[in-house]
Structure 1
Amino acid sequence: MNKTVLKSMEIIQLFFDEEQQTLQEIVEKTNLPKTSAYRMAESLYELGFLQKSDEGAYKLGLLFLQLGHLVSERLEIRKVALPIMNELKKETGEAVNLIIREKEEAIYIEKVDTTEHVRVYTQIGRRAPLYAGACPRILLTFLPDKEREEFINRAMIKKYADGTIVDKDTLRQMLAESREKEYSISHSELENYSSAVAAPIFDHMGKVIAGISLVGPEVRFQDEAHVESLIIRLKQSAEEISKHMGWKGE
């Protein structure tokens, strides 16, 4: 692969975790010579991939917003799911997230925010490990057995919050339970004091292609009867989206 392209991508990836990067920070994090880092950053700036703050620090350019919008618009499942997500939010009052799998991560591709004053904020484009959180884990739950086990064996499990499942045998047990019930639930796994319930979305082949979740502060997910009602409504929405994607209910 072209080394210049790879290094340019390495610079861009620095902005996944930090909003801004100075030239010196880019040099330190990429181990590029300062002149090379400057030339690459300035080229990315000229092309619109980066922009500059008033202080001269680099940040992602608006071109990414345009490209991201095009990608989102072209994802059929997003178009199908959004009106159903809006209706789900109206009925439950909780935020709704839609995710898909990208390699060994889950990526959030659509959301509908709650109107509640206390909420859990999720950003479109956010990535999460498949083992943590109800929605990412529902994707892992329905991977083929061999693929799922291979992922668990090689995963370097990181603790994101107080409730993150770090024991692999416990994870396997939870996946088996989620597969049987066809939903997953999490408390303080990706962020403390947040909870979520998630259900799978299937395509015409019966393959899970996405996950949909209701998410909110943990305090609103304590009453069992309330959570059960959320799960029932969530699974109905997941089934509706699945049928639009060609699933026959098998």
Structure 2
Amino acid sequence: MTQQMRARGRPKSFRKPEDIPRIQAVDRAIDVLETLARGGATSLSALAVEMDQSPATLYRILTTFRLRGLVENNDATQEWMIGASAFRIGAVYLRRSTVASRAMPAMRDLMAATGETANLGVEAEGQVMFIAQVETHESIRAFFPPGTQGPMHASGIGKALLASYAEARLQKLLENAVLTHYTPQTLTSPTALRADLAATRARGYAIDDNEKTPGMRCIAAPIFNHLGEAVAGISVSGPSNRLTADKVAQVGALVTSAANSISRALGADMGMVWLGNLDSNQD
């Protein structure tokens, strides 16, 4: 008897993710989690207004999530919030790689050396997603909670990663990217962005010079794994009046050194990545 092969990943009839029919109830339930994650604790009535959904429908979703620990309810205030089970599920993302745990000591040292916030981010579906941060003690500081996403073309980590990608991967990302204008300094044309990426490769670190948020500067470098692949980026970010133009080279050297240290901890051969072997990685 011929043994049927077990389905792996997706049904054979669906060739692309966009071909798969969406389940509306699941979509709505995930929308509830994402809305709570953005806004923090909120009442059922406020959530219903924000989502333009029936309170009765949302209550059924919330109580189901509460039974599974994905959300919690404060009886005193009647507010709903993300629960511990949602954190445990989300934390699996970080456990896929040791990059976050390997990076934390270097990030703490980087914050101590520069006096500014150190960030760790990865690419997620064409955007930068911040997965860890060591905050400065200064009252005015950059703040990117884990899970925050930002544009690749207007962030230090995003440009550090783009500059390290092989041409085919870079071209694909640029073809699908919308180079949104945020400030007068934002690079909104592929030509200007490519020129900036070339400069990034030449000096070894990327600079976000008020390109996403006026008055904020960010300096970043890529982190490589044992295969020589850029898997994350580390950065220092802060107000431009503290992270001044004359400090960029000094901070850039510190950020690059931290990135290289983490890369070596992940098994990367630093003689074969970034400037050393980028051209041979083109495909």
TM-score band by shorter chain is: 0.7 to 0.9
Pairwise CA distance, 1:139? 1.6
Q: Distance in 2 between matches of 1:241 and 1:55?
A: 44
Q: Which residues in structure 2 correspond to 1:49-68 (within 5 Å)?
A: 49-53=70-74, 54-68=76-90
Q: Distance in 1 between matches of 2:104 and 2:96?
A: 13
Which residue of structure 2 lines up, in the alignment, with residue 133 of structure 1?
Answer: 155
Which residue of structure 2 lines up, in the alignment, with residue 231 of structure 1?
Answer: 252
Match of 2:122, SS state, is strand
Pairwise CA distance, 1:127? 1.3
- Could you tell me the percent identity over the aligned residues? 23
* Structure 2 residue identity aligned to 1:195: R
Larger Rg: 2
Which residue of structure 2 lines up, in the alignment, with residue 92 of structure 1?
Answer: 114
Native 8 Å contact 2:126 2:177 kept in 1: no
Aligned residues: CA RMSD: 2.5
Which residue of structure 1 lines up, in the alignment, with residue 59 of structure 2?
Answer: 38
Q: Distance in 2 between matches of 1:122 and 1:16?
A: 14
- Structure 2: 5+ residue runs without aligned partners? 1-21, 273-283
2:128 is the counterpart of 1:106: yes
* Range that drifts further, 86-95 or 155-164: 155-164
Q: Distance in 1 between matches of 2:72 and 2:180?
A: 32
Pairwise CA distance, 1:206? 1.2
Pairwise CA distance, 1:229? 1.0
Q: Which residues in structure 2 correspond to 1:194-205 (within 5 Å)?
A: 194-205=216-227
Which residue of structure 2 lines up, in the alignment, with residue 144 of structure 1?
Answer: 166
* Structure 1 residue identity aligned to 2:60: R
* Distance change (3 Å), C-alpha of 1:70 and 1:199: same
Pairwise CA distance, 1:2? 4.5
Q: Which residues in structure 2 correspond to 1:187-198 (within 5 Å)?
A: 187-198=209-220
Q: Distance in 2 between matches of 1:42 and 1:163?
A: 47
2:137 is the counterpart of 1:115: yes
How many residue pairs were aligned?
249
Pairwise CA distance, 1:73? 5.6
TM-score (norm 1): 0.86
Native 8 Å contact 2:37 2:82 kept in 1: no
The structure 2 residue matched to 1:158, chosen from 180, 198, 203, is 180
Q: Distance in 2 between matches of 1:173 and 1:200?
A: 18
Deviations for 1:137-187, whole angstroms, at most 9, x for unmatched residues? 212222221222222222223344554333333222212221332210012
TM-score (norm 2): 0.77
